[in-house]
Amino acid sequence: MGSGQNIQCTRWPAWLNAAALLIVSWSVIAALSLRAGAGAELVAAAFPPWWSAQQAFLAAASANAAIVRTTAVPALLVVRPDDHDGLARLRNAGAWLTIDPQAIVACIRTNDLKADDLKANHLGIANDLRRR
């Protein structure tokens, strides 16, 4: 008879299952807890990460959202949604997620923050770019 061959079975380590579960559950909890409410005046709109800043601006403008501030991430904008169904319009324009802007304060460029902005809103995201 023929010689026996050992078939190597490649399996990932057992800890990888736990790590994957931890990452997925943390992401879901963060997305649910940081989500902007229906009556939010300002929201951070997260567009697909492969979009350029121009695509994100055009999508926000098509949703009638006033752009308040840009961030260090081109596809993440702080906007003031339209009063009438603004969050739904942002989602239809391509926003993956609309979250509380206080959650993304680390993404705001520090050179954009001024003392007057910090006084106007604790995180420096309240001043509309149109007033500058």
Q: 122 Cβ partners below 8 Å, 6+ apart?
A: 102
Q: What is the tally of helices (H) and strands (E) in the chain?
A: 4, 4
Name the phi and psi angles at 36, rounded to 5.
-75, 145
The mean pLDDT values, 10 residues at a time, for the chain of 132 residues are 68 86 89 71 88 91 89 87 84 87 67 47 43 41
Per-residue model confidence (pLDDT) at position 123:
41
Per-residue model confidence (pLDDT) at position 47:
92
Per-residue model confidence (pLDDT) at position 38:
67
Q: Which has the closest alpha carbon to 44: 99, 102, 123, 108?
A: 99
